[in-house]
């Protein structure tokens, strides 16, 4: 019985988190979100960034991004950033994002 409870806790813990995987592409950076991510959550983050309502990245980094495109569905969302931005800059910004880290 104890083993079953531990297995259920493991399953619950895996499903109750957002996973972020940042990849460098030929056009910029792609972020793959999975787990407890809602597409609207990522759209909101992009809107905040585009309108200057976020403080997650420097103005210098924002200036490097020429396009942001959200794709996918709840639980499996991708954000494609076009421009001369580095994987490290985006990883740092994700850590500071109030939209993503309020969970």
pLDDT above 70: residue 7: no
Q: What is the residue-wise DSSP string for 5-53?
A: HHHHHHHHHHHTSEEEEEEE-SSEEEEEEEES--HHHHHHHHHHHHTT-
Q: To the nearest whole percent, how much of the chain has pLDDT over 70?
A: 83
Q: Give the residue carrying structure tokens 């959550």.
A: 41
Are residues 92 and 57 in contact, defined by beta-carbon separation less than 8 angstroms? yes
- What is the structure's pLDDT at 103? 46
Residue 89 has pLDDT above 70, yes or no: yes
Residue-wise pLDDT tens digits, 10-53: 555 545 688 999 999 999 999 999 999 999 999 999 998 888 88
pLDDT band at residue 91, thresholds of 50, 70 and 90?
very high
Q: Which CATH architecture has domain 18-96?
A: 2-Layer Sandwich (3.30)
């Amino acid at each position: 019985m104890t083993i079953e409870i531990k297995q259920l806790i493991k399953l619950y813990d895996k499903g109750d988190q957002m996973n972020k995987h940042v990849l460098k592409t030929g056009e910029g950076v792609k972020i793959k979100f999975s787990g407890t991510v809602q597409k609207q959550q990522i759209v909101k983050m992009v809107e905040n960034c585009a309108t200057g309502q976020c403080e997650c990245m420097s103005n210098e980094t924002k200036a490097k991004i020429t396009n942001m495109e959200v794709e996918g569905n709840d639980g499996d969302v991708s954000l494609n950033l076009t421009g001369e931005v580095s994987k490290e800059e985006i990883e740092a910004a994700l850590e500071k994002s109030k939209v993503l880290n309020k969970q």
